[in-house]
Structure formats: structure tokens, C-alpha cells
Amino acid sequence: MSNIKRLNLYFNLDNAKTKEAYEIIFNSMSKTAFIVDAVLAYKDNTIIDKSIIKEAVKEAFLEMDYNLGVAKNTCKQESNEIPDDVFNMITNL
């Protein structure tokens, strides 16, 4: 018994994103190899690395000319409130 599986996909070519994906797959030399590589690359790229997020937030603060030490001291410690500027900065990422 063969250990090969078949998967049927349907593409709605009226949808621009779906049509673009279909054309990329259709024009590839080895469709199976392309799909395998694409799925594995997607899986590897979706893992969230905490240190990358931390660095991105630090960079965003620096780009906005925030002094991290001053921002830390001006935040109300007892109420645990986060300034609206932080949410605006994250939204703009």
C-alpha cells in the first residue's frame, strides 16, 4: 500500500488574492514541492519570538523619542494604568 496522499484544492478566481496564489502555484515547476515549501515556511514564520517583539517595541519607543526611564517613572504604579500613547504606538506598528 502506497504512503502517498492526494489533496484537491479549489480556487475561486474571482477573488484577487486567490487568483494570485493560484497563478503562482500553477506556474511553479513542481507544484507539490512548492506547496510543501510554502506550508513549512509559513509554519516557521508564525512562531512568535518574545525577544523579537521586545526589540520591536524598544525600537518603536526610540523612534517616537520616548525616554524609557522617564516613561517608566511617569506611569502610575498603584493603578497599573497604561498610557494611551503606548496603545497608539502599538496600533501604528
With CA atoms as reference, report the closest residue to 86 among 66, 78, 54, 70: 66
Mean predicted confidence (pLDDT) in 12-20: 95
Distance, CA of 2 to CA of 77 (rounded, Å): 64
Contact 19, 13 (CB under 8 A): yes
Confidence at 22, pLDDT banded by 50, 70, 90: very high
* Predicted local distance difference test score (pLDDT) of residue 41: 85
* Predicted local distance difference test score (pLDDT) of residue 93: 64
Q: What is the DSSP string of 18-37?
A: HHHHHHHHHHSS-HHHHHHH
Of the two residues 78 and 19, the one the predictor is more confident about is 19
* Predicted local distance difference test score (pLDDT) of residue 71: 53
How confident is the model over 34-66, as pLDDT tens digits? 999 988 888 877 666 777 778 888 887 777 765
Predicted structure pTM score = 0.45
